[in-house]
Amino acid sequence: MLRFWAQDPNDPSGTELYGDMREYGFNFKDRKGNEPVMMEAAFARGFDRTLRAGGTTVERFVFPVPRGTRELILRATLTYQYFVMPPGSAQEQMQASIADRIASASPEQQRHILDVEVPARMDAMHTLASTYPDLVMADASTRLR
């Protein structure tokens, strides 16, 4: 995630005059176009905005400068997030997908889904969501006069 913001260096409170973000990564969608989805339902890539290794990515941020502002501090931070939870609506779709699989499965398959797959996925999600802190890959600032 790239976070960009501008501040007035003369403002003691440090209030942001402008701020924006760009998210990089990808997820998958199913045949109905829902995204993100569980791996077994993945049909194609959905959101896909990745950074190329060894490449250069240019982002442009345009914002109005308040009248009377003589200086600005511009800041940017590129952060790697190990895991980002999907939004609530996507979580509901994934839960519905699991419920559909259980409903159409044989009794043996249902036991496997409920006793093995679901607990393993929940454990993995909790581990990913709580174990790894965000990693700041780059941090830059400059003063404009």
Profile the chain (145 residues) by mean pLDDT over runs of 10 residues.
Answer: 93 90 88 79 86 91 89 94 69 82 91 87 68 84 92
Question: Quick one: tokens of 118?
Answer: 């679901």
Q: What is the DSSP letter of 40?
A: G
DSSP conformational letter for 113? I
Count CB atoms within 10 A of the CB of residue 117. Answer: 16
Angle at 38 between CA 33 and CA 39, to 5 degrees: 100
For the chain, domain boundaries: 2-144
Q: How much is the pLDDT for 57?
A: 92
Q: What confidence score (pLDDT) does residue 103 get?
A: 92
What sign does the CA torsion over 16, 135, 1, 35 have? negative
Give the number of residues written for the chain: 145
Is residue 127 within 8 A of residue 62, CB to CB? The reply is: no
Cα separation, 93 vs 88, whole angstroms: 9
